[in-house]
Amino acid sequence: MYLAEIEYLPYIKSDNLNQIHQNNPSLLQELERVAIQKIINYTSTTFESSCLFPNITAYDSNKAYSMGEYVRDNNVIYVATADISAPNNISQFTAQDPRNELIKQWIIDIVLYDIHSRISPNQIPQLRMNRYNDCRMDLKEISQGLYGGLPDSCKRTETDANGNESVISNWGSEPKKNNYW
């Protein structure tokens, strides 16, 4: 899972979360994957998805890790600050969460909306609809290059023939009109 179940708790009570996903964490995992894909679809023209969604694996003390790899252990995310050989100890890592807070919130908003719509599509709580619509508006602005809430370091770049690197910009405009008189 990209998010730990505990990360949902500021947005929904534990009992309510367990009730709506019917104590089935794999449902949350599937809906998270769908939410991440939705976000990637909106952001892929401007941002590198591998930067916005860093790979985080479960910690295994019998595995070697390269510098910069992220692991999760007991709902805490750590980064390897050097190459670490196996066997190892979590104390050889530094606690650091690379995930963007806005993206985490958008994933939660999309997941909670989708899970409510699965239960009763005609009775989704207004709060969930509002948060989902706000999320969609933010993502549409990102796709149009109008939203500045994501890290500039994750913006897509291109290299020209001279080796100069520049950020890809999307300029909004109307489609070309053919005026016939």
pLDDT in tens, 131-172: 999 999 999 998 888 877 888 888 887 777 777 666 655 555
pLDDT of residue 113: 95
Query: Average pLDDT of the chain?
Result: 88
pLDDT of residue 177: 62
Q: Is the pLDDT of residue 80 over 60?
A: yes
Q: Are 17 and 32 in contact (CB under 8 A)?
A: no
CA distance linking residue 52 with residue 31, whole number of Å: 18
* Residues forming a β-bridge with 70: 56, 79
pLDDT of residue 137: 95
Of all residues in the chain, the percent with pLDDT exceeding 70 is 90
Statement to judge: residues 41 and 8 lie in one domain? yes
User: CA angle at residue 104 from 98 to 110, to 5 degrees?
Assistant: 155
Output the CA–CA distances (angstroms, integers) from residue 109 to 10, 136, 141, 144, 156, in the order listed: 12, 10, 17, 21, 25
CA distance linking residue 62 with residue 148, whole number of Å: 41
Statement to judge: residues 116 and 46 lie in one domain? yes
Q: Is the pLDDT of residue 180 over 70?
A: no
Confidence of residue 76 (pLDDT cuts 50, 70, 90): very high
Asked whether residue 14 is domain-assigned, the answer is: yes
pLDDT of residue 169: 56
Statement to judge: residues 34 and 119 lie in one domain? yes
Whether pTM > 0.75 for this model: the answer is: yes
Q: Go through 14-38 and write b for each residue having 16 or more CB atoms within 10 A of its CB, e for each that does not.
A: eeebeeebeeeeebbeebbeebbeb
Statement to judge: residues 43 and 59 lie in one domain? no
User: CA angle at residue 91 from 85 to 92, to 5 degrees?
Assistant: 35
Its domain, for residue 64, covers 54-98
Query: Which residue has tokens 């939660």?
Result: 108
- The total number of structural domains that make up the chain: 2
Q: What is the CA radius of gyration of the chain?
A: 20
Statement to judge: residues 78 and 145 lie in one domain? no
Q: What average pLDDT does range 6-32 have in this prediction?
A: 90
**CATH code, domain carrying 63:** 2.10.10.90
Confidence of residue 175 (pLDDT cuts 50, 70, 90): low
Task: Please say which residue of 45, 80, 98 terminates a domain.
Answer: 98
Q: Go through 119-130 and write b for each residue having 16 or more CB atoms within 10 A of its CB, e for each that does not.
A: eeeeebeeebee
Lowest mean pLDDT among 9-23, 67-81, 140-154: 140-154
